[in-house]
Structure 1
Amino acid sequence: MTDDLFSSLSLRECTARNRVMVSPMCQYSCDDDGLATDWHRVHLGSRAIGGAGIVMTEATAVEPRGRISPNDLGIWSDDHANALAPVAEFVGEQGALPAIQLAHAGRKASKTRPWDGSSPLQPDEGGWETVAPSADAWPYDGNPPEIRAMTREDIAGVVDAFAAAARRSLDAGFEIAEVHAAHGYLLHEFLSPITNHREDEYGGRFENRTRIVREVTDAVRAAWPDDKPVFVRISATDWLPDRESWTVEDSVRLAGQLADAGADLVDVSAGGIHPDQRIPNPGPNYQVPYAERIREGTSLPVGAVGGITEPAQADALVRNGRADLAVVGREHLRDPYFTLHAAKELGAEDRVDWPVQYRRAV
């Protein structure tokens, strides 16, 4: 039988009830301590009630300096795990797989929230020193926060922080851990020659630039149970065709290495490394060809993102073998019940369990 949007997806011993995943989307709604709040429980829980198969948290910092803003979610202590546990429990109770994205913002850290201008924060303004592969700050119009090139000890510490965050995430009740190596954040900064100018074993040739991503994936996989899946989100291209940069061909090659490291799915996005990026033909499915290319070139399942807004469109991605998951972001902000509405539109009501509290409306 041909898989479709409402086919289940089994990865290791976990089974998603359908092929819709809520994309990780930063909410910038913590206090300055990185602890989850009622906002996160309601935001993520309502998408689980809405029928999605996998509900992913926003980028969740593995250490304090890995936050994008002071209001980012964190998982660097047991207190953070305890705050997230009710979120994971509620998502699971609604039939979705609770998933967490583990992240470090690198040189894109220490700035205000988008609705406060995304402006760089200095230490005397509540900001902090940022770290990156090389001491090249994000090209802000204003004064960027202090930045330092990472030492080998820093790199080892970040790898350990991802592993510790995975262990805490497991204790909190999450079923899937995703390594964030996309969108110009720390791990992507190592991958791309745009931001990695190192001359040691973490810079230069492809094998060196990808080393930390392999090490983090290995460490998370070792910390995560064998029966639960690990995802990795990547930017398939830097969208900088006129510069030496990260390409789709690089991503296919990396995906093969990630499979060897124990990754179970590649969550394929694009861009974010530099503001000069040029997005070709943004519109419906505009990033799907990258996921399709990686799926064809490796043995790994993939998730596709980018302008997925319509039920038939999401269904076609799976039916046509272009992706294994439809990763839906902004449409889930507009419609928390996207999956339930998609089932009605696609004639699949008999394959969706509406919450009993809502069945009078079906």
Structure 2
Amino acid sequence: MWRIVAIFLLALAPAACQAQSQQSRFDCNNFFNYGTSASATLQQFNTSPETMAWNWFTCLNQPADAYGLNRVWELLKPTDQVYLPNGAVPLPYDQREPTPAAVLAQANTLGMDPRKVFHNLDSIQQVDGLVLEMGGAVPPEQQGRPVRFQLLMGSDTFNYINAQKVYNVNGQAALTSDLNFPNTAWELKTSWIWIGTNQTFMNLLQSDGYYTVQAYYLQNGVYQVGYAALSGMHVINKLTPDWVWTSFENINNSKYTVTNAIPPTPMHNTTGPTPAAVPVNTAFQTNPVYLPLAKYELIGVQHQFNQQPVLLANSQLESAFQSQSSCIACHSTAAYSKTKGYFNFALAQQGGIVYPTTALPDSAFVGYNKLDFVWSLKRAQWQR
């Protein structure tokens, strides 16, 4: 199945010669596990990080089963299946906690497909604790409701967390050295416009190129079950020593999400697409092969300190701090101390809270064990 993608990539009209040569060589068959081809993959990445970002995004969005009902990324392990209540030991990667019976009962009455994944959109808070609200063209009953989030991880990310026993805070407190994930580690952070059961709203979003899924969340002890539309995605992997962040979002997000200013205003991305991303976006978006993904655009790629772009923000995932968003700088502060808890990367300066956009000195982390850029570990709970 994945080799078909390589043939499609050959047919792509590239934005530049370097993009064309890279696309013709990329093969989705083994993109999660670089193995002995890591150096070749890194060489392709360095030739055009933006083209490689689109290659990864394309591979992640290929069908994952014979029915074509789920995409590859949907079968990654969500964090609610890793950081369990009471810090319990998670099930193996390929085994899942059962979907709650109350969710399945509602799904059955709604005529949902039990073969498709039910995504637990279990978070509404961004890094700064604020929420991004729905607005604009959304139905009246959806006005002001929060954009929701879900984090997922690849098998080697999960297996490393399991082996190090850091799926609970007890294991993190027992660390005696820094974590060091393998170069086959992957994480995704996704953002979602909640649809619920409004078929007209879902049709509108689908016409604007949004990918929609079956989803649920728990609110005040009651499960809300319906549909949701993918508005943004961070794709994170450890191809280089300092990890790689690539960020995508739907070009129509400003129609459906608003800032929490008064009055609310459409939420636009302010840091991208970067100049390097623009021609690559055009190359992929205008090719018929990629029509299902044509309304998503690459915002940019960040993978080294002090290298452009210094700032990189997704309007859905970092709406409230676009002017300070540096994926690599913020994630480089992922650290835990058994006496101080998690490192606080919100720096009190200039009469308010700012976030680091460059690497902090090692002296800031005395007494901490570094978590190797993986802030999702903060979702771990104590095992009492």
Where on the TM-score scale, by shorter chain, does this alignment land: which range?
Answer: under 0.3
> Higher helix share goes to which structure?
1
> Higher strand share goes to which structure?
2
TM-score, reference length from structure 2 = 0.26
TM-score, reference length from structure 1 = 0.27
